[in-house]
Amino acid sequence: MNHPFLQRMREEVLVMSGAMSTMLAGEGANLGGCVSQWIADHPETYRDLVENYYRVGCHIVSAATSSLNRITLAKFGLAEKMEELNHKVIAIIKAVKPPGRFISANIGPTGRILKPLGDMDPEEVLEAYGDQARAIATGGAEIIYILTMFDLEEAVLALRAAKSRANLPVIASLAFNPAAKGYRTVMGVSPEEAAKRLESEGADVIGANCGGLSLDEETDVLRSLKAHCDRPLIAKPNAGAPEMKDGREHYAASPESFAAHVGDWVRAGARIVSGCCGSTPLHIAEIAKKVREIRLP
């Protein structure tokens, strides 16, 4: 695929926007509800956050559409609004996107377990992800980002759906944790297994986001991924381990300490760098400073 995003990534390291949900929670969004519906009801708040991420140096802002497949929306009685909500969230970003920047749109896990371990029919999941991928493409996003996956089979279904229903580059990342035998998702998927399978299924970028990794462990996982695939990688860890303060989660990594790891991630194969839960525009601004100092071979 000859796409401007893929061409840019061959020439430079790109910066993606950081946390959205944790930032929106600070503005009053209920993370137990449909965050995207909250965004549609409070477009100015979301627009301001998006503009701030572009302002601090993001090449890519990722739309908060993770839960906007029909299976997940059904929990909120909003399945029939799937296309409308995907389009509304993306439209807010389109209205403020500077020239030369990109919009990605997220596809996240359904929250259900596939058969035979659970009750979800793989064909139903494939169809739901396919419909969302089509809505993302018609809404005007330029990249699809499959993220925070725990089950490799569900990630593959999302990847197949995106590749078949949208002619867009696809990023795919899983959430890994430290385990007795290396690193694993909660479903037992290793970085090595994920890298090989996602590459074989056609992912354009592969990586790790969220999960329980420290910033040093993110580097370890990236090295494992790169040792088993030839794809560029994305590094999008949380801003350190969360701590409870005054009844709310607080992430300990400062913008400066977070950005200090960017060079290690790039050397390990990352061509997109970002932050997940707990990261803010301040974290991303420090990342962007580090990226401007990097010259790829």
CATH of domain 12-292: 3.20.20.330
Domain spans of the chain? 12-292
Instruction: Say how far apart CA 197 and CA 259 lie, in whole Å.
Output: 30
Question: What's the rounded mean pLDDT across residues 95-110?
Answer: 97
How far apart are the two ends of the chain, measured CA to CA in Å? 23
pLDDT value of residue 188: 96
Over range 71-88, report the average pLDDT. Answer: 97
Give CA separation, 64 vs 75, 96, 194, 213, 258, in Å.
17, 15, 24, 22, 22
Residue-wise pLDDT tens digits, 103-132? 999 999 999 999 999 999 999 999 999 999
Per residue in 15-63, pLDDT (tens digit) is 999 999 888 988 999 989 999 999 999 999 999 999 999 999 999 999 9
Query: pTM for the whole thing?
Result: 0.96
Q: How many CB atoms lie within 10 A of CB 121?
A: 12
Residue carrying the six token digits 């197949």: 160
For every residue of 144-212, DSSP letters joined together read EEEEEE--HHHHHHHHHHHHHH--S-EEEEE--EEETTEEE-TT---HHHHHHHHHHTT-SEEEEESTT
Tens digits of per-residue pLDDT, 133-176? 999 999 999 999 999 999 999 999 999 999 999 999 999 999 99
Distance (Å, whole) CA 151 – CA 34: 22
- Is the Cβ–Cβ distance between 278 and 242 less than 8 Å? yes
